[in-house]
Structure 1
């Protein structure tokens, strides 16, 4: 496959969670590949920073301050795109609590952001792609938690497992329109969402996570952004309904 298969010149991407972490890294890389990038997030200051970096690099960016759990705002932002070729539904939150201590409000909040927010984005993006006859790629964000589990991961893991099912189901329904749907299931990635209370605690935790990987390190947002670019581009033109696992080898499911 020629390198030009990764060229997104003339295409439009919509990225949720674009204010920081994996979302920001993905927005920057999609822009570097030539896409016009629409950046969505609750963090307005972070959105401006991401958009500024894209523009400083010669790219084109638009910002949409919004809550992905608000279907109306999300619909308005997505439909504001003249055309849409790529959705990267990355916005998410972390919650950790033992099963026996999990409250209804904890589960509801995590499912609202990590599953419903992805569902709403997928629905609006797919409808727009179909209505405008745009062949496209939808990339969702799952997690290594769907393969490994772990103490305290009930809410987060359940929401990400739902994203996996959404990805596979949607792929079977929109493939006939030339729309591909795939999920990324990262391992432990160094982002604001995984930060510990202080540098010492961070270093200890990263050391534990690194020992779990055959590669001997934790991941960076850019590691995941390259997977998002692959799935967004023509380089993955025969890939749909798949869960791609850039996890450093921590989990190796069949």
Structure 2
């Protein structure tokens, strides 16, 4: 999987490990010994699972292919989770070309490369499989100032649909999970990161816990924002035999 370092991806990787899968997860850079939390592969191993990590730039199709190649040591890819993504905000007229290219390189080309590499591996081995991509409610819900991100997630959703049509004949399932607001550290360390929630309300990740009850939760039927734990099952289900029940 890609994007397994933190947040949604970390929890999804952990849950797949609990289910008995061997996890090959990407990391952006080598983990430091003094990291506050254990890298994802160590978290899985500490819970008696099996995992390996590959240092990966998901905007580079060759690097994404290396993640799939590493899985061959364990028999090949049974499930590919394309979760890596970034967020940048700017109005349409203020969007910088470099920022646009970066968002699409990671959010779209990275997912495309992951789908392609995993599908080629499955076809070469003549084995069925599952591909799960992380889209977003932004795939279909337009927001002011979110042209880059919303467009990239719309592309992920359409790519998922096309891949599902093309690969179904080979018993390769392709699905997308489209989260809404999830409590993660997505965007931490990026001073430009914020979210716009209706009527010009701007929310920074650091403010999220304090503002949940007052500004966000009343708009959500369950009365709270989602968590990675809430979402993880959505990735496991289409990749399991339970989908047949």
TM-score normalised per structure 1? 0.82
Q: CA deviation at 1:98?
A: 1.5
Q: CA deviation at 1:76?
A: 2.3
CA contact (8 A) 2:161 2:174 kept: yes
Pair 1:202-2:208 in alignment: yes
CA contact (8 A) 2:183 2:227 kept: yes
TM-score normalised per structure 2? 0.85
CA contact (8 A) 2:24 2:70 kept: no
CA contact (8 A) 1:187 1:219 kept: yes
Give the number of equivalent residue pairs. 223
Q: CA deviation at 1:237?
A: 4.6
SS in 2 for 1:181: strand
The aligned residue for residue 12 of structure 1 is none
Pair 1:227-2:213 in alignment: no
Root mean square deviation, CA, Å: 1.9
- Which of 6, 24, 45 is 1:55 aligned to? 45
The aligned residue for residue 158 of structure 1 is 151
SS in 1 for 2:24: strand
Distance in 2, Cα, partners of 1:175 & 1:44: 37
SS in 2 for 1:44: coil
SS in 2 for 1:182: strand
Pair 1:111-2:120 in alignment: no
Structure 1 ranges of 4+ moved more than 4 A:
194-199
Unaligned runs of 5+ in 2: 189-202
SS in 1 for 2:127: coil
Pair 1:87-2:80 in alignment: yes
CA spacing shift, 1:189–1:44, aligned 2, 3 Å? farther
CA contact (8 A) 1:36 1:61 kept: yes
Distance in 1, Cα, partners of 2:139 & 2:24: 29
SS in 1 for 2:130: strand
